Amino acid sequence: MESTIKKIGVFTSGGDSPGMNAAIRSVVRTCAFHQIACVGIYRGYEGMIEGDFIDLGPRDVNNIINKGGTFLKSARSKEFRTPEGRKKAHDHLVGAGIDALVVIGGDGSFTGAQIFNQEYGFPVVGIPGTIDNDIYGTTSTLGFDTALNTVVDAIDKIRDTASSHNRLFFVEVMGRDVGHIALNAGVGSGAEEILIPEENLGIDRLLESLDKSKNSGKSSSIVIVAEGDKTGKNIFELKDYVEQHRPQYDIRVSVLGHMQRGGSPSCFDRVLACRMGVKAVETLLSGESGYMVGIRDNKLNLTPLDKAIKGHTKIDKELNWRPKRSLKEMIDSAWESEEGIKQ
């Protein structure tokens, strides 16, 4: 049965991640292979509302597979959250003859796509693009592997200066509400301690670990701290607490920030983007909609968007072999205990 889809729109939404350009390229070239027109939508849902479209062919996506970021730009749209905004977007899509959409982004982008699909029956398929790796239904999101390499490279450099000055470094990494970047990069860089949102580590346990390292002759240490759902100030609170209770340490803080989102995508992310782009287009052409393309055991799979949005990822238990506690709980509990002793 011949597909009724003759033109597919592709866009990136939410936070950028390495591999998005490679995914766009894959979608465009897969459309060309199947003799389907492809349209790029600038600035995500905001561009959809404004009708900011561009026709894309194979030559238009030359030399972007190695580029970080997204040449289609990305934005968060408040207007698309309203029925009126979605109506404008639908009118522009229909006017441009676009029959289906491929959305590259995270759970917020997928939520918008799902609502749009439910309201207008508009075919959509999602590709998970976020460095946080916090999307249910896939073991790896686009950009996660590149971000890990970026973080490990940065920690390696920090370790050089930490070792030279016999310092203790607290390094904060991204991840939003999950600790995938912190846990994997911490193990990969040989960090002495890793603090993640999912599990708890008492402050005493951290101090004991640092003391043990010091007593064994270790002159410098690295502690990786996931940002969790709070601002970077928590890592400075941790520094202050450890300085007060272990004044012998010369402590520094490094917040890696948005450098983790940038850079040329790794080979893994480029290959994954290519595979997911093909799968997304072919899923739409087969008549299926409302799914996210994911990967498990190196095989592509489809997860319903509602499950991808509502589901929760789990950390790798083999990597996380020590009991941990959230940074906020750890600091609050420690200060409360100390106040109780003083009283």
DSSP alpha helix (H) spans, the chain: 20-33, 44-50, 83-95, 107-120, 144-165, 180-189, 203-215, 233-245, 267-285, 305-310, 327-342
pLDDT, tens only, 40-98: 999 999 999 999 999 999 999 999 999 999 999 999 899 999 999 999 999 999 999 99
Asked if 204 is an active-site residue, the reply is no
Best CA proximity match to 61, nearest among 10, 22, 87: 22
pLDDT at 343: 41
Residues 150 and 111 grouped into a single domain: no
CATH number at residue 238: 3.40.50.460
Residues 334 and 222 grouped into a single domain: yes
In a domain, 2, yes or no: no
Q: Residue-wise over 102-115: b if at least 16 C-beta within 10 A, else e?
A: bbbbbbbbbbbbbe
User: Which residue in 132, 134, 145, 269 is the catalytic one?
Assistant: 132
Average pLDDT over every residue of 306-319: 88
Structural tokens at position 116: 């749009």
Which amino acid belongs to residue 68? G
Instruction: Give pTM, 2 decimals.
Output: 0.90
In total, how many domains does the chain have?
2
Q: What is the C-alpha separation between 76 and 79, in angstroms, rounded? A: 9
pLDDT, tens only, 186-212: 999 999 899 888 876 667 788 888 888
Residues 215 and 126 grouped into a single domain: no
In a domain, 257, yes or no: yes
In a domain, 174, yes or no: yes
Best CA proximity match to 338, nearest among 259, 253, 241, 273: 241
CA atoms in the 13 A half-sphere facing the CB of 334? 22
